[in-house]
Structure 1
């Protein structure tokens, strides 16, 4: 029930399976948090295949917490940081000035 726009920039390329899974988990966790904490929001996912790094950003427009918001462990973003650290990646999160929330993962890629 969540409206999500997807934008992919840069030439997509094959990624190591673990790194691909880490990027997938970023999107999964961020969209799950949107459903839980921003009911009624819309979301956008941006994937940028840069020459030296993969950037994954998930933003939402904000909303109201759903009934399931209190059911989580609150450790999802911590787990993402730990998962990304394995690949020397970083996770930036926070409220957006225009409202809503932003989750951004920056993951270095090996150059071909």
Structure 2
């Protein structure tokens, strides 16, 4: 299974890089018998940001890792900030 940890780690790295001075970052992880939902939201930047939009490699990597296991990653603006949401399948028999 794609690791929820790796998705949270990459999303937090992106928030640190692209939302300097954010008032906060929320991380939510929910699991049920069919899957895991990971949501990471930042509150938006409060400091000047470099004009470069970034390479998108982090988002591409998260999407690729999730897709290998049948999952999806959505990312985009959410209010003043940015949200990454991953849905990953979960087999109760996995450890």
TM-score with structure 2 length normalisation?
0.83
Q: 1:101 deviation in Å? A: 0.4
Alpha-carbon distance between aligned partners in 1 of 2:26 and 2:12, rounded to the nearest angstrom = 9
Structure 2 unaligned spans of 5+: none
* Segments ≥4 residues shifted beyond 6 Å: none
Instruction: After superposition, give the CA deviation of every residue in 1:36-63 in whole Å (9 maximum; x if it has no partner).
Output: 1111111010000122110000000000
Report the counterpart of residue 34 of structure 1 in structure 2.
15
Task: Give the structure, 1 or 2, with the largest relative contact order (CA under 8 Å, sep 6 or more).
Answer: 2
Secondary structure of the corresponding residue to residue 35 of structure 1: helix
TM-score with structure 1 length normalisation?
0.71
Q: Provide the aligned C-alpha RMSD in A.
A: 1.9
